[in-house]
A and B are shown apart, each in its own frame.
Chain A
Amino acid sequence: MHIPGLTLRSVVAIAALALTGSAFAAGQDGQASQTVSKDPVTGKVRNATAAEAKQLNDLRAADLAARKAERKAAGLPAAGVVRLQQNGIAAAYVDEELVSYSVVRRNADGKLEADCIQGKSAAEAALNNPVTTHSEEHQHDVQ
């Protein structure tokens, strides 16, 4: 089963917790999942506390449930779940979190900056919070 990536809500929660490490915790399907976070102060990682891991898992569970509910409401089959076709071929539907989005922002200097971002929630989060710090010419600091 797919373990969803962090949503905006998750990211915000982690920032508030000042998570400084890798959180190894059980995913929704019982499989081990990992989230790597970076200490905004030291840049180093550490294991999450039990409380932090639980909060992260709760957020993931809520996010997964919301996405499942959205697909169900739209009459779409569940995503990320393998079904075995009659011809023996394994198949799975892909949901919005694996779709690629183009997002554009107008910077303070008036120039447009476009990025490709995977996942609806990450794309919508990026509208107000630039997520990229590309190290190439069209993204460089000017001073």
Chain B
Amino acid sequence: MTSNKRPNLTLLAVSLALALGAAGSAQAAATIVINNLNGPGVGFNDATPATPVGGNTGTTLGQQRLIAFTHAANIWGATLTSSVPIVINAQFTPLACTATSAVLGSAGATQVFADFPGAPKAGTLYSYALANKLYGSEISDAPGAQINARFNSELGKAGCLTGSSFYFGLDGNEGSNIDFVATLLHEMGHGIGFQTFTNGSTGAQFAGYPSVWDHYLLDNTTNKLWVNMTNAERAASSLKDAGLSWTGPRVTAAVPSVLTATPELRIVGVGATSAAGDLYKVGEADFGPKLDKSPVTGQIAQVALQADSPGSACTPFNEANAAAVRRNIALVSRGTCGFAVKVKNAQNAGAIGVIVADNAPGPVTGMGGSDPTITIPAVRVTQADGALIAASLTKPNGNTAGTVGKFERSKTLISGTDAQRRITMYTPNPYQSGSSVSHYNTTASRNQLMEPAISADLTHTVTAPIDLTFELLKDIGW
């Protein structure tokens, strides 16, 4: 191994990860070397006393940082296979922050390489750690760490996201703090290859070469791969909602075992325009039960605006509304009060489910909020779809004609994927510098480690059937 260790730096941790999978699976092993760049008394060497937490046995802040860092490195080390050690230059250092926001940390590859023996694709950029693996030895004539990682040493102090700090436990029980291990797993994922180096905003290739990612990014509306596009075409495809698919075979094969079927609302009965029923896209709620394979079925009853209520379903239902929704699915409008308030009022009136119709144009999204006492499912539809559903009903306070709704999971569509069940990438419009393209789509469910937002419900797993990160890395050569 060639170490880039600088003079007077101490190599504090060497993580040798070796794991045997289930019978028949390949042995994975990669050595991750954590190169501690911090000086005495700071960062990894901070001697501030700390209480062991969540499986982290460190008794100083510095020890806990290093143990948590090593834990995350071990997860990757147990997953990846490489004969060349992966060196990470790591440090805790002051990074930009305000009282209510902070840069937690960063990680990224230090160099990229193309046209080397062992490269699966010619004329294509590979990140340093992956290039080393494929090349089989140190590839650079200017050797150094493959990844640089920096994390904020001031987090939680006055003026730096005051009061919220890193949770260095290894068990994912971060509570109201920030799970350091999950954050590091995500950023390390980028460092070892989960990113394109091509600029999604301009479409320009880095250093004049396509990235290996660009061979797998497909505009599913034009059926062209990024590697075959002009700059203008790449930039345009970066703005197409759910329009950029990952075509790698490993990810695609794993999608059905990792992601859940798409939730949907099927309208049947006299209100439907076809015998099979009309399907509507829906957003799910943060609160209440998730939709499962057993549909929730009931007649739909529109809730009328009450004189005592500032908005649809914002106060306990009057007698007429309660009679309409009892044992039925309530159709309410968004606005004025929280989603959870509306659903709870419908539940108290005897509804078995709730459809919330948006009050403004836009794509369908989910519903935030929380109320652990809610026991009925709720879905959200667009304003236009809500109007269609409402128009199919015959009475404002009831539905004797029989328009029936079914909350169900699709038998063919999978969340976060295209019609061919390929996962889509995060491509909001307008372009979000830094988040677009090099992350999975946020519509994927269950939440994925490599979505742009680091979800509170993430586990520390990077492999299927929990997570698709490693499958993508295998697609590009890991």
Contact across chains for A138 and B98 when beta carbons are under 8 A apart = no
Give chain B residues whose Cβ lies under 8 Å from the Cβ of A135.
283, 363, 365-366, 442-443
Contacts of A113 in B (CB 8 A): 453
Asked whether A137 lies within 8 Å of B286 as measured between CB atoms, the reply is yes
Is A127 an interface position by the 8 A CB rule?
yes
Would A5 and B453 be within 8 Å (CB), given that A90-B209, A135-B363 are in contact? no
A143/B336 in contact, CB under 8 A: yes
Q: Which of B256-303 contact A (CB under 8 A)?
A: 283-286
Top 8 closest pairs, chain A to chain B, by CB: A99-B108, A118-B434, A140-B368, A117-B434, A100-B190, A102-B104, A3-B204, A136-B442
A35 within 8 A of B: yes
Question: Measured between alpha carbons, how far is A58 from B197 in the docked complex, in Å?
Answer: 23
Set of chain B residues within 8 Å of A89, measured between Cβ atoms: 113-116, 139
Cross-chain contact A2 with B107 (CB below 8 angstroms):
no
Q: Are A134 and B442 in contact (CB under 8 A)?
A: yes
Rounded to whole angstroms, the CA-CA distance of A100 and B433 in the bound complex is 11
By beta carbon, the residue of chain A nearest B426 is: A134
Produce 1/0 per residue, A1-12, CB < 8 A to B: 111111000010
Task: Determine how close the nearest CB of chain A comes to the CB of B117; give it in whole angstroms.
Answer: 8
- Interface positions, chain A 97-143, Cβ under 8 Å from B, are 98-106, 112-120, 122-124, 126-128, 131-143
Contacts of A133 in B (CB 8 A): 428
B7 within 8 A of A: no
Q: B residues within 8 A CB of A11?
A: 433
Bound-complex Cα distance A34 to B430 (A): 14
What are 27 A-B interface contacts by the 8 Å CB criterion? A5-B201, A22-B232, A34-B204, A36-B201, A36-B430, A38-B430, A89-B116, A90-B207, A91-B139, A92-B112, A93-B110, A98-B109, A100-B191, A100-B434, A102-B186, A112-B178, A114-B178, A115-B452, A116-B453, A117-B433, A124-B103, A127-B102, A132-B428, A132-B432, A138-B456, A140-B365, A141-B339
Total number of residue pairs linking A and B with CB closer than 8 Å: 265
Residues of B within 8 A of A115 (CB): 435, 452-454
- Is the pair B112, A94 in contact by a Cβ cutoff of 8 Å? yes
Residues of chain A with a CB closer than 8 A to B190's CB: 99-100, 116, 118
Give A106 to B410 CA distance when docked, in angstroms. 36
* Cross-interface CB contact of B112 among A33, A91, A106, A139, cutoff 8 Å: A91
Chain A interface residues (CB < 8 Å from chain B): 1-6, 11, 22, 24, 27, 31-38, 77, 80-82, 85-94, 98-106, 112-120, 122-124, 126-128, 131-143
A104: B residues at CB distance < 8 A: 101-102, 104, 161, 164, 178
Contact A33 B368 (CB under 8 A): no
CA gap between A134 and B436 in the complex, in Å = 11
* Cross-chain contact A80 with B207 (CB below 8 angstroms): yes
Given contacts A90-B114, A102-B186, A114-B183, 19 further A-B contacts (CB under 8 A): A3-B202, A34-B202, A35-B201, A35-B202, A86-B141, A91-B114, A94-B112, A94-B206, A98-B108, A100-B106, A101-B187, A104-B164, A117-B433, A118-B195, A119-B434, A136-B453, A137-B445, A138-B453, A143-B336
Chain A residue at minimal CB-CB distance from B190: A100
Chain B min CB distance to A67 (Å): 14
8 Å CB contact of A106 from B100, B191, B283: B100
> Is B473 positioned at the interface, with any CB of A under 8 Å from its CB?
no
B400 — which chain A residues lie within 8 A by C-beta? none
Are A137 and B366 within 8 A (Cβ)?
yes
B337 contacts which chain A residues (CB < 8 A)?
A: 143
Q: Does B384 contact A (CB under 8 A)?
A: no
Taking CB atoms and an 8 Å cut-off, the chain B residues in 71-118 that contact chain A are 96-98, 100-116
Q: Which residue of A80, A85, A112, A131 is within 8 Å of B206 (Cβ)?
A: A80
The answer on a CB contact under 8 Å between B207 and A3 is: no
User: Which of the residues B98, B111, B176, B447 comes within 8 Å of A94, measured between beta carbons?
Assistant: B111
| Min distance, Cβ B3 to any Cβ of chain A, angstroms | 19
For A101, what are the chain B residues with a Cβ–Cβ distance below 8 Å? 103-106, 187, 434
